[in-house]
Amino acid sequence: MAGTDSTQGALTGGPAIILVRPQLGENIGMAARAMLNCGLTELRLVAPRDGWPNEKALSAASGADAVVENARLYDTTAAAIADLAHVYATTARPRGMYKPVFSPREAVAAMVPGIAGGEATGVLFGAERSGLDNADVTLAQAIIEVPLNPAYRSLNLSQAVLLLGYEWFQARPDLAAPAGPLEAEPPAPQADLQGLYAHLEEELDRAGFFHPPEKRPGMVRNLRNMFARAGLTAQEVRTLRGVVVALTRGRRGAGGRGGED
Amino acid sequence: MAGTDSTQGALTGGPAIILVRPQLGENIGMAARAMLNCGLTELRLVAPRDGWPNEKALSAASGADAVVENARLYDTTAAAIADLAHVYATTARPRGMYKPVFSPREAVAAMVPGIAGGEATGVLFGAERSGLDNADVTLAQAIIEVPLNPAYRSLNLSQAVLLLGYEWFQARPDLAAPAGPLEAEPPAPQADLQGLYAHLEEELDRAGFFHPPEKRPGMVRNLRNMFARAGLTAQEVRTLRGVVVALTRGRRGAGGRGGED
């Protein structure tokens, strides 16, 4: 999936992503990539197993190096969240704790107003195998659980970060409206379409296509419906007229016997 | 992110995931995992670079082996989509094609009623580095573009599959609800459309429509795009083939001088 517009500056803002006791450097790097995909840049690490800095994290981050290089290191989860106003904990299994449980979409909806108001927010992600300790989850105000196939729920760390980040990016308050449902070109004026219909139907009349005659109105309607539905551009209408000319060209060349059969 | 409840059966249904010329077996396996996370089980492969079956795909699939083992193999994208009613193409960059462009969320919303109505649907994903060819994108009715940080948009294959699957899983409870404003008639199978394309293009070749020759591929793409977008029914495809026959009839009758112009 290539496609990066490096003329645009990095986006900032959004929740801090806090990886608690992550094990593999590769996963830290891939989490950093997922973050940057979604415009998130603030990475915090609590006691990464293999120490810090970590070469494997850097090489796996390809292109998101700055996220890894700017990561902040903490000894404990409590220290990592000390400055935050809102903390969410991601978990894959029920914890039997009396806390709100949000989907990523709901969690992002809940955090957007606070972040827009300048309130520092963070999301905790646990270690690859074991997830977060109950003690870590206890520090959070709310739990985020990703709705997934209950028979196969296991996500890797960077994918969990990606799904949260993706929801963040969809909800970002400053997100420009997406370009409409269609790419740039406007549809052809109706007059162009009418010209196409008239041209095609005239040639089909000549070719005896509309038979028996009492079916002509319904057949014409069906044809026009197909072209109307396609939302043709002016250029496309010209192309289709060229197609009609090309397909009938031989007939004319063969003696202009319009109306045969 | 551990946590799998293996007492619940695998979920089925949803769009087929079609990987076009995937390169690394690991990525195929990881895509299979992402699919199963989201209750998707139908994997199709078009000409995987390293052959098939692929040991690395199986070992990377850990737990999603059945998805990999049941993958169906095709030589061409056209063959892989021949039985599908709806085809979407994921792309990371604008293609300058006049087709609807959906986010994953919008695409899923668009495909849910059809799938609920039993219409086979598939989503094309391109190779790791290059993405889909324009020729592949042309076969699709609509484009799916994931809204991501424009300054860092590059996603790996399994992540792209995950985001589409995630949106599918969020929307799938709706499947129980009665299908909304479904059109009366189902869309034509892709094989019918390909038959129409081949027929029309053969006649246009005879008529010398595609000139200069180096412009032929682009002209063919534009024509196919128009018809793909129209969401033609099987009856409409038959009608259009009748139109082509009718328009060219005189030419044949005048001595079968195919190729004149």
Q: Which of B149, B155, B169 to mutate to test the interface with A (most CBs of A within 10 A)?
A: B149
Q: Is the backbone peptide bond immediately before A48 cis, with ω within 30 degrees of 0?
A: no
Q: B170, A248: Cβ pair inside 8 Å?
A: no
Shortest distance, CA A42 to any CA of chain B (angstroms): 15
> With contacts defined as CB-CB under 8 Å, which chain A residues touch B208?
246
| Amino acid identity for residue A54 in this structure | N
> Is A169 in contact with B149 (Cβ distance < 8 A)?
yes
For residue A237, the chain B residue with the least C-alpha distance is B226
Q: How confident is the model at residue B231 (pLDDT cuts 50, 70, 90)?
A: confident
Q: Is the pLDDT of residue B95 over 50?
A: yes
* Cβ within 8 Å of residue A188, ≥6 positions away: A232, A233, A234, A236, A237
Spell out a b/e string for A227-256, using b for 16 or more CB atoms within 10 Å of the CB, else e: beebbbbeebbebbeebbebbbbbbeebee
**How close does chain A come to B215, measured CA to CA in Å?**
13
Closest Cα in chain A, distance from residue B91 (Å): 7
CB contact under 8 A, B149 and A11: yes
Among B106, B163, B254, select the one facing A255 at the smallest CB separation: B254
Question: Which residue among B98, B101, B226 places its CB closest to the CB of A185?
Answer: B98
Q: Which residue in the block uniquely carries the two structure tokens 């083939």? A: B241
CA distance B7 to B29: 23
Q: Which residue of B has its CA nearest to A185?
A: B98
pLDDT of residue A176: 42
Q: Is A98 exposed, middle or buried (0-12, 13-18, 19+ CB in 10 A)?
A: exposed
CB contact under 8 A, A207 and B232: no
Q: Cβ contacts (< 8 Å) between A103 and chain B: which residues?
A: 170
Rounded Cα–Cα distance for residues A109 and A89 (Å): 15
Residues of chain A positioned with their CB less than 8 A from the CB of B101: 179, 181-183
Cα separation of A162 and B226, whole Å? 35
Contact, B122 vs B14, CB < 8 A? no
- Residues in chain A closer than 8 A to B201 (CB atoms): none
Which residues, 6+ apart, have CB-to-CB distance to A181 below 8 Å?
A: B100, B101, B102, B106
The distance of A173 to chain B (nearest Cα, Å) reads 14
User: Please, which pLDDT band fits residue B154 given cuts at 50, 70 and 90?
Assistant: confident
Alpha helical stretches, state H, chain A: 25-37, 55-60, 65-69, 77-80, 104-116, 134-138, 157-171, 190-206, 216-229, 234-253
pLDDT of residue B251: 62
Q: Say whether B63 and A200 touch across the interface (CB within 8 A).
A: no
> Across the interface, which of A129, A240, A253 has its CB nearest the CB of B2?
A129
The alpha helices in B72-156, defined as continuous H runs, are 77-80, 104-116, 134-138
pLDDT < 50 positions in chain A: 1-11, 176-183, 253-261
Please state whether beta strands A101-102 and B86-90 pair in parallel, antiparallel, or not at all (unpaired): unpaired
Neighbours of B167 (CB within 10 A): 22
Residues of B in contact with A11 (CB under 8 A): 149, 151
Q: How far is B111 from A157, CA to CA, in rounded Å?
A: 29
Torsion of CA B147, A156, A138, A18, to 10 degrees: -60
User: What confidence tens digit (pLDDT) does each residue in A114-162 have?
Assistant: 888 888 899 999 998 889 998 899 888 889 999 998 888 888 999 999 9
Query: Among the ranges A85-99, B45-59, B161-175, which has the highest mean pLDDT value?
Result: B45-59
Give the closest-approach CA distance of B39 to chain A in angstroms: 5
pLDDT for B108 beyond 70: yes
Q: Cβ contact (<8 Å) for A154 and B209? A: no
Find out whether B103 and A166 touch, Cβ atoms under 8 Å: no
Q: What is the pLDDT of residue A13?
A: 79
- Looking at the complex, report in whole angstroms how far the Cα of residue B93 sits from the nearest Cα belonging to chain A: 5
Find the range with the poorest average confidence among A155-169, A213-227, B64-78, B131-145: A213-227
Residue of A nearest to B128 (CA): A1
Tell me the chain A residues in contact with residue B240 when contact means C-beta distances shorter than 8 Å: 226
Return the higher-pLDDT residue of A53 and B230.
A53
Query: For chain B, how big is the Rg over CA atoms in Å?
Result: 20
CA distance B216 to B48: 28
Question: Residue A116 has what pLDDT?
Answer: 85
Q: A208 to each of A212, A260, B204, B209, how far by Cα in Å?
A: 9, 8, 20, 23
Question: A32 and A57 in contact (C-beta within 8 Å)?
Answer: yes
Q: Tell me the pLDDT of chain B averaged across its residues.
A: 85
Whether B209 sits inside 8 A of A150 (CB atoms) is: no
* Half-sphere exposure in the Cβ direction for A73 (13 Å, CA): 10
CA distances in angstroms from B257 to A254, B206, B216, listed in the order given: 9, 9, 22
Judge if ipTM > 0.90.
no
CA distance, residue A127 to nearest chain B CA (Å)? 7
A193 token code pair: 């379409």
Q: Residue A10's pLDDT is what? A: 35
In whole angstroms, give the CA distance from residue A196 to residue A241.
6
**pLDDT exceeds 50 at position B115:** yes
Distance CA B232, CA B189 (A): 9
Q: How far apart are the CA of A153 and the nearest CA of chain B, in angstroms?
A: 5
Q: Cβ contact (<8 Å) for A38 and B9?
A: no
Q: Do A236 and B226 touch (CB under 8 A)?
A: yes
The C-alpha atoms of residue A9 and residue A41 are separated, in whole angstroms, by 12
Please report residues of B whose CB lies closer than 8 A to that of A243.
Answer: 200, 204, 209, 223
User: Which of A177, A163, A179, A174 has its CA nearest to residue A38?
Assistant: A163
The residue ranking higher by pLDDT, A75 or B183, is A75
- Both tokens assigned to A85: 């106003």
Q: How many CB atoms lie within 10 A of CB A189?
A: 11
Contacts of A178 in chain B (CB under 8 A): 103, 147
Answer whether residue B204 shows pLDDT above 80: yes
Lowest mean pLDDT, pick from B12-21, B40-49, B63-72, B252-261: B252-261
Q: In what order do the strands lie in the sheet with B101-102?
A: B72-74, B43-46, B16-20, B121-125, B86-90, B142-144, B101-102
Query: End-to-end CA distance of chain A, in Å?
Result: 54
Which member of B5, B230, B251 has the closest CB to residue A151?
A: B5
